[in-house]
Amino acid sequence: MPDFSLTPEQESLRDLARKFARTEMAPHAQECDRTPRFPEEIYRKAYDLGLMNLNVPTEFGGSGLSLLDQCLIVEELAYGCAGMTTSIIANCLALEPIILGGSSEQKQRFLTPFCQEYHLASFALTEPTGGSDAGAIRTRARKDGDGYVLDGEKCFITNAPHASLYAVFATTDPAAKHRGISAFVVPRSAPGVTPGKDEEKMGHRASSTSTVRFDGVRVPAADRLGAEGEGFSVAMRTLDQTRTPIGALATGIAQAALDHAARYALKRQSFGKPIAEHQAIQIKLANMAQSVHAARLLTWHAAWTIDRGAKGSLESSIAKCFASDASFQVADEAIQTFGGYGYMKEYPVEKLLRDAKLTQIYEGANEIQRTVIARELLRGYA
Ligand code: COS
């Protein structure tokens, strides 16, 4: 890890994502935020350039990128628009349970089509009464012949109205708590699957979020990932992988906020000089720069740790939690640097604050990240 240099391949991945973010995403970010609009044409272009399904192994037609490679891409995309990035990387979250828990036959069957043609998938874990307490989900999977029947409702599901496939977590035995949970792959076309209407959100408004209902949905046993009761482990291992890219996404928002604030501070005059020459603003910019730098390094460190085969629960929670808190603070300071203009929708920084807020909540609220961090930490002292 002391060597922070990127390989030529990583440099070109980063350049590709940077160019795409600045030429294809950023010019539409404001309009998609305001309307709001789900810009599927941009997601299709991202797919065509290989900027989706980053975690799918090469043997199933994916790019098989390391987590560090993924983070380099995600940070750049988020610089262009965090909401679009959430929709672009949602496939990674939805397909990870198949990568981790699926048999070779299931991987071939479910992953390959995503690498042959543009499709969206959703990760369906959260429920109206069970967000942070993932072991308490109520969606039922009742044994029926050689399969299961699913009943229940999921909420806050990214891309749900546009997805063709869902990774669904359901319990065969609620009394068994997390040990009763199994993971299933459910096609959108299965009778009884009903995505809800788009939620009106504070930020990430270019992405789509809705409920999904499962009413008597038949799922063959062949579409269960891993053994019955292994679903909670699949979900937790998935989140260990996908929280680090959220650190990268938050870093991208923070870098954008810092860049806007620094440029504005050099231009904006007060008391006869650019505000960048006032110490109060310099201190803000210096603190923002430290936060962005630390967020990036913690994210790279978590990615590097996991790429070397470690579980990385501690490192990914640290990266996600620190980077998202940093992102919110940096966006807040960017608004303060802009003063009244920062509060206006005409300027880009208020969107960054709204987008940063979600990174403190999704893929596990930061309170949960601190729970994970403390548990992992204390294990070393017990
Ligand atoms: N990898 C593998 N297994 C894990 C694990 C991990 N990262 N974390 C926990 N487990 C296992 C534990 O080892 C334990 O196994 P046993 O059944 O053998 O004892 C089991 O899972 C239960 O673990 P724990 O007791 O820690 O579970 P809790 O109910 O206390 O919940 C948290 C743990 C809070 C960490 C979990 O519910 C969580 O991550 N919640 C947030 C969910 C989330 O991020 N939602 C966002 C969805 S995507 S937008």
pLDDT digits (tens, 9 = 90+) for 118-139: 999 999 999 999 799 999 999 9
Q: What is the mean pLDDT of residues 334-359?
A: 98
- CB 281, CB 264: distance < 8 Å: no
Whether 2 shows a pLDDT value over 80: the answer reads: no
Report residue 122 CA to chain centroid gap. Answer: 11
Find out whether the beta carbon of 364 lies less than 6 Å from any atom of ligand 1. Answer: yes
Ligand 1 lined by 125 (C-beta under 6 Å): yes
Question: Does the beta carbon of 130 sit less than 6 angstroms from any atom of ligand 1?
Answer: no
Burial of 16 from C-beta contacts in 10 A (0-12 / 13-18 / 19+): middle
Mean pLDDT for the chain overall: 97
The confidence band for 27, taking pLDDT boundaries of 50, 70 and 90, is very high
Beta carbon of 246 within 6 Å of any ligand 1 atom: no
Q: Is 363 in the pocket of ligand 1 (CB under 6 A)?
A: yes
The answer to whether 154 and 125 have CB atoms below 8 angstroms apart is yes
CA of 191 to the centre of ligand 1 (A): 31
Give the Å distances, CA to CA, from 93 to 19, 31, 165, 240, 333.
24, 26, 12, 11, 31
What is the bridge-based pairing of β-strands 121-124 and 165-171?
A: parallel
3-state secondary structure of 274: strand
What is the pLDDT at residue 265?
98
Residue nearest atom 11 in ligand 1 by C-alpha distance: 233
CA distance 254 to 320: 13
pLDDT band at 1, cuts 50/70/90? low
What integer pLDDT is reported at residue 130 of this predicted model?
A: 79
Query: What residue ranges in 147-208 does DSSP mark as E strands?
Result: 147-158, 165-171, 181-187, 193-195
* 240 CA to centre of ligand 1 in angstroms: 10
**How many Å from the N-terminal Cα to the C-terminal Cα in the chain?**
28
- Give me the pLDDT at residue 300, please: 98
Please choose, from the candidates 35, 382, 77, 110, the residue with its C-alpha nearest in 3D space to the C-alpha of residue 248: 77
pLDDT of residue 70: 98
**Ligand 1 geometric centre to CA of 5 (Å):** 34
pLDDT (tens digit, 9 = 90+) per residue, 231-270?
999 999 999 999 999 999 999 999 999 999 999 999 999 9
Instruction: Cite the DSSP H helix spans in the chain.
Output: 8-20, 26-34, 40-48, 67-80, 82-101, 104-116, 231-267, 279-307, 313-338, 349-359, 366-379
Provide the pLDDT for residue 3: 83
The pLDDT confidence band at residue 211, using thresholds 50, 70 and 90, is very high
Annotated catalytic, 346?
Answer: no
Measure 185 CA to ligand 1 centroid, in angstroms. 20
